Amino acid sequence: MSNETQASTADLGEAPAAADGELIRSGRDATATRRALVRAARRRFATDGYRATTVRQIASDVGVNVALINRYFVSKEGLFEACMLRTSDELETQASTPSKSIEEVIERLIEHVVNAPDSDDPLQLLLLLRSSGDENADLIRRRTLEHFTRRLAAAAGWRSDTPESEAILLRAQLAIATSLGVVMLRTSAAVQPVASASGDELNEPLRQIFRVLLGRSGQ
């Protein structure tokens, strides 16, 4: 059960991230604790699901008391929202590198799919697709996915108002669905042989799929 992720507390404490203008860290650093909680929570949510994850688990992963989750995020749902917002931000940042060719985008998507099991890739959190019993969380999740879809479709030549490019949007979302399906099999279910397949083995089939979906030949 409590096997990994003990390091999260340590390395977050000693290295203040550059993102936000943080004050000098002291022995008890609220923002660092918050980040550690979000980090641990995202991992748990992505691998175990929303419902199956307990706040006590998350707190234990970080090594702090459970009550801090309610202090900083009000509720479990609030913590989940924070996770989603951070994931959305990361995907946004990565996608905003301008004027990528579709080939480059495909390569990056493949990389995400291949590496997701090992890293705590933001794509992992999107695995939380099923209704988590929380309406607000579901809304955030859906919005994130649709936004990501438009990003990918834009790289494939989608223009927002022409009706014929609706097909491109659909195809982009099928690419995302495929990615999520593969990540799902690799991470949560450990289904063979996909789970243990190397990046090299996955590379060629995935590239074929994405080219068919997003490239000019497929349309």
Partner DNA sequence: TCGTCAAGTCAGCAAATGCTTACATCGAGG
Partner DNA sequence: CCTCGATGTAAGCATTTGCTGACTTGACGA
- Write down the least CB distance from residue 65 to DNA, Å: 3
Contact status, residue 107 vs residue 203, Cβ threshold 8 Å: no
- Where along the sequence are the contacts to DNA (CB under 7 A)? 25-30, 33, 53-56, 63-71, 74-77
Is residue 10 a contact point for a copy of itself (CB under 8 A)?
no
**9 touches which of DNA, a copy of itself, none (CB within 5 to 8 A by kind)?**
none
Contacts 24+ apart (CB under 8 A), 117-123: 117/183, 117/186, 117/187, 117/195, 120/39, 120/42, 120/43, 120/46, 121/183, 122/87, 122/90, 122/91, 123/91, 123/179, 123/180, 123/183
**70 touches which of a copy of itself, DNA, none (CB within 5 to 8 A by kind)?**
DNA
**90 touches which of DNA, a copy of itself, none (CB within 5 to 8 A by kind)?**
none
What's the first-to-final CA gap in the chain, in angstroms?
Answer: 47
Is residue 202 a contact point for a copy of itself (CB under 8 A)?
yes
Q: Which of 16, 49, 78, 157 binds a copy of itself (CB under 8 A)?
A: 49
DSSP H helices, the chain, are 7-14, 30-48, 55-62, 67-73, 76-95, 102-115, 122-125, 135-155, 166-184, 199-214
**149 touches which of a copy of itself, DNA, none (CB within 5 to 8 A by kind)?**
a copy of itself
Is residue 52 a contact point for a copy of itself (CB under 8 A)?
yes
Taking the least distance from each CB to a copy of itself, the nearer of 86 and 141 is 141
Taking the least distance from each CB to DNA, the nearer of 64 and 145 is 64
> What is the rounded distance in angstroms from the CA atom of residue 46 to the CA atom of residue 126?
7
Q: Which of 75, 142, 159, 199 binds a copy of itself (CB under 8 A)?
A: 142
**181 touches which of a copy of itself, DNA, none (CB within 5 to 8 A by kind)?**
a copy of itself
